[in-house]
Structure 1
Amino acid sequence: MTVQTVATASSADTARARIRALIISGDLEPGSRLRERDLSQALNVSRVPVREALQQLEAEGFIDTSPRRGATVKQITLRDVNELFDVRLSLEVLAARLAAQASARGESSSRLRQMMNRAEEATQGHDHTQIPLSNTALHAEIVSMGANSLLECSMKPLLGRMQWLFTLTGNRDPQIACAEHLSLCQAIYDGKADLAAALAFSHVELGRVPSLQCLSGRLPER
């Protein structure tokens, strides 16, 4: 891999992260046109990494492309949210089980403790900008702790959508999620795989109806 290729890949990753953040924050609204030239000027990068970033964001479910309109910000629907919960019920339960098994083998949980502390600090400080970021990072670390590369690849595109969901439902009581996260993490620290899996299932499923209720009337059905 040449230096130029590495630089382009790095620029594409940076562009993807910045565009995704603008979509999640609502600065780029659903249906907004995403023109390569405008984005390259705004992000101060060439059009090649922007083009790659848009392709990656389409794969992650953040944008749609069509021959007539080009790239546009995806309109997330209640059906999309419900499907996200369905997938999380399988993958995050497995992630919690694997993380607890890793802890039982004596592998370090220090980074997970750090992520939990940050999430708790954001919650207690009512930092509504940081809460979705720290909660997403916490879920990502649980996945990483299990050291299953296929699971990590499967979860990677979902984590961005989870952050999007957490941001859209930011008016829900964050204390509830924080308490559930604390219980889940404690089960992982203790190496209790069955309990961690059960708590992960409960955490995801208990968030489904409140999230859909929060978004009802704000998002289209499908």
Structure 2
Amino acid sequence: MARRQGAAAADVLSAPQEQATLPGESLARMSSGEQVRLYVRRLIFDGVLKQGQRVPQDAIAQALGVSRIPVREALIALEREGWTTIIPHRGAFVNALDEPSVRDHYELYGLFYGFGVRRAVERKGTDLAEPLRVLQQQIAETTDPEVLHRLTLAFHRTVIDAAQSPRLRTMLRQMTDIVPGNFFALVPDADEVEREGVAAIVTAIERGYPELAEREYATMLRRQGDLVVELFRARGMFDADDAEDGSAPTA
């Protein structure tokens, strides 16, 4: 077991640090705890850390050049997000992912953004369609995943700003995307689903149908969830048999 845990620590040390960054962000601009959080999520996504495996805190601290304090802070945040479980006197362990949880995640996104667009149309009417159509056309034209990522964030942000719902903002801030990085660079066919989805949403807004815009948002995010499930299945991220010795005990 010691040899396996030592090998895991070596894998962490050899993993490229830039994988932890998100589009438009740099490690230098993030807090140490945020660096570690994104880094660990990416290690799980890339299969360096597997289900049931103890997170090698010292190796991660050394890899990122930080102390143990931000590592502990990050693991607490990751536990809140469902990525890890902290067991007193034993350490933090990677949680198993399951297909229903991934699907639920994107269903919830659909509910939140669907509510947001319905509220936005109720407040702004068809005028909301004008700035969204500009973004939708840019989304349709770009083939660059980085640009697509920024445009998509701008589209969602425009909808949520127009909804004028502080409560909705709070709920969305509490959700962290399951895919740690540029969604469109990592998830096959996600770009096409996004293009079709935002086009349908804008058309519904232009026609003054808030309920239809709400349904189109939910449909788009459900389809994105389907793609993430396919990706995770292909990566073996749903396979509980990958767990190694040193895993968290089961009830």
User: Considering the TM-score relative to the shorter chain, is it more than 0.5?
Assistant: yes
Matched residues in 2 for 1:160 and 1:113: separation?
25
> Where does the alignment leave 5 or more consecutive residues of structure 1 unmatched?
1-8
Matched residues in 1 for 2:151 and 2:81: separation?
19
Q: Which SS does the other structure have where 2:238 is aligned?
A: coil
Q: Deviations over 1:36-56 (max 9, x none)?
A: 322222222222222112111
Instruction: State the shift of 1:197 in Å.
Output: 1.0
Within 5 A, what are the aligned runs for 1:69-84? Answer: 69-84=90-105
* Larger gyration radius, structure 1 or structure 2: 2
Q: Deviations over 1:157-214 (max 9, x none)?
A: 4332266795797234631332212332454578753332121122234445555455
Please tell me whether residue 53 in structure 1 is matched to residue 105 in structure 2.
no
Please tell me whether residue 30 in structure 1 is matched to residue 43 in structure 2.
no
TM-score of the aligned structures, taking structure 2 as reference length: 0.61
Please tell me whether residue 193 in structure 1 is matched to residue 213 in structure 2.
no
Matched residues in 2 for 1:73 and 1:167: separation?
25
Change (3 A) 1:67 1:214: same
Q: Deviations over 1:11-59 (max 9, x none)?
A: 32343334334444x1643334323322222222222222112111211
- What is the aligned residue count? 208
> Where does the alignment leave 5 or more consecutive residues of structure 2 unmatched?
1-29, 241-251
Contact 2:81 2:176 in 1 (8 A): no
Q: Which amino acid aligns with 1:137?
A: L
Within 5 A, what are the aligned runs for 1:79-98? Answer: 79-98=100-119
Q: Which residue of 1 aligns with 2:198?
A: 181
Alignment match of 1:161 (pick from 170, 174, 178): 178
What is the Cα-based RMSD across aligned positions, in Å? 4.1
Alignment match of 1:204 (pick from 213, 217, 221): 221
Q: Which residue of 1 aligns with 2:238?
A: 220
Within 5 A, what are the aligned runs for 1:60-139? Answer: 60-67=81-88, 69-104=90-125, 120=140, 124-125=143-144, 127=145, 130=146, 133-134=149-150, 137=153
